[in-house]
Amino acid sequence: MTTIYDDTHEMFRESFRAFIASEMAPYYDQWERDGIMDREVYAKAGKHGFIGMAIPESHGGGGTDDFRFNCVIAEELAAANMGGGGLGLTLHNDVTTPYLVEYCTDEQADRWLPGVAAGEIITAIAMTEPGTGSDLAGIRTTAVRDGDEWIVNGAKTFITNGINSDLVIVVCRTDPDAGRHGFSLLMVERGMEGFERGRNLDKIGQHSADTAELFFTDVRVPAANVLGEEGKGFEYLGFNLAQERLSIAAYGWAAAKSALDWTVDYVKERTAFGQPISAFQNTKFVLAEIATEVRVTRSFLYDCVLKHNQGELTPAEAAMIKLWATELQGRTIDRCLQLHGGYGFTTEYPIGRAHADARVTRIYGGTSEIMKTIISKDVLA
């Protein structure tokens, strides 16, 4: 079987699998009930090198931009059915950290990166607003310059790590007359006066991923906390979109594969009308179709991962794999749940939680409809 992993990645996999078994699995059900993962998990993951891989060694990170390590994490979290808590870790690794590595000044890097790599500073990114989803140009959160500070006012919602986060990349409108060139990224830190957390949103899935409302009322943010250059926020947001979508796709594919594995085991054991469910032609055909789609998708996904490592993954390709892998995740898990019968609608088997966790992956990181729009522009160019 063709693989993109070498011995180093497989050693990393074994270590992370053991970490899940000892530090996450025993507590995961409680985190799901609580609606939030214990923040100490980030510190423990940092101690073992499972976060901050892309942060330079000089600042306590792994010093590698090899995205295959990130994919290993996604695959193992999916195998353990940890779509909620896993989302917090992958967002910290795959989505927010790259902005810091790319755009921090030397002073900012010294101030934040060691804590981020150690899991002592948990990160989030705040783009979405109550009245603004995929249309980032409609962002209304403002930042007004006042001497050596920016005064931030506005609200954000659906922010993953919103409760646990210590450092939030906040997308603000800093020049109302400059259109897309009027946005900047400001780093808002826990404890700043006027920065408040709202509800930890009650979701239908991914419960242990704290997803919150954030409110900013005359929050004074030092000018030294502007990430990158003023007015380039919109440009910066496009910098990491390909990796964000690849990250979601990697988990989506791995979740589909895991659902297939669980279902194969289930249909061999479960009987109906005096024989295993696996003996029925419908079961065989459904599993044959799923196995084929999972296998084909793996080839496309791994091709995208290698292209991304080489800096060659295009926005259209990232949109394609995100669209395909998350749609695959949804339909695969739904079909696998059907083969579980009534048990699939319970929490007794992992397929039920996986079904609830899967629905949002076709929404966050850009909806399937947005992905189709991006792809069509490339096709018609």
Backbone angles phi, psi at 38, to 5 degrees: -60, 125
Backbone angles phi, psi at 188, to 5 degrees: -100, 130
Among all chains, which residue has been given the structure tokens 């979290």? 77
Give the Cα separation of 55 and 114 in Å (integer).
8
Active-site annotation holder among 32, 244, 312, 317: 244
Give the Cα separation of 309 and 303 in Å (integer).
10
Alpha helices in the chain (DSSP H): 7-19, 28-34, 40-47, 68-79, 85-90, 97-103, 106-118, 233-239, 241-269, 281-309, 315-340, 350-358, 368-379
Phi-psi region of 191 (alpha: psi -120 to 50; beta: other; left: phi over 0): left
Backbone angles phi, psi at 146, to 5 degrees: -140, 90
How many other C-beta atoms are found inside a 10 Å radius of the C-beta of residue 324? 21
Give the Cα separation of 353 and 347 in Å (integer).
7
Name the β-bridge partners of 257.
none
Report yes or no: 182 and 175 within 8 Å, Cβ to Cβ: yes
Confirm whether 244 is a catalytic residue: yes
Sign of CA dihedral 279, 284, 287, 291: positive
**Rounded to whole angstroms, what are the CA distances from 295 to 139, 290, 338, 369?**
40, 9, 21, 24
CA 223 to chain centre: 29
Give the Cα separation of 306 and 303 in Å (integer).
5
Among all chains, which residue has been given the structure tokens 């509800």? 199
Closest CA to 103 of 160, 185, 220: 185
Closest CA to 71 of 56, 85, 86: 86
Give the Cα separation of 186 and 143 in Å (integer).
9
Q: Which residues are catalytic?
A: 244
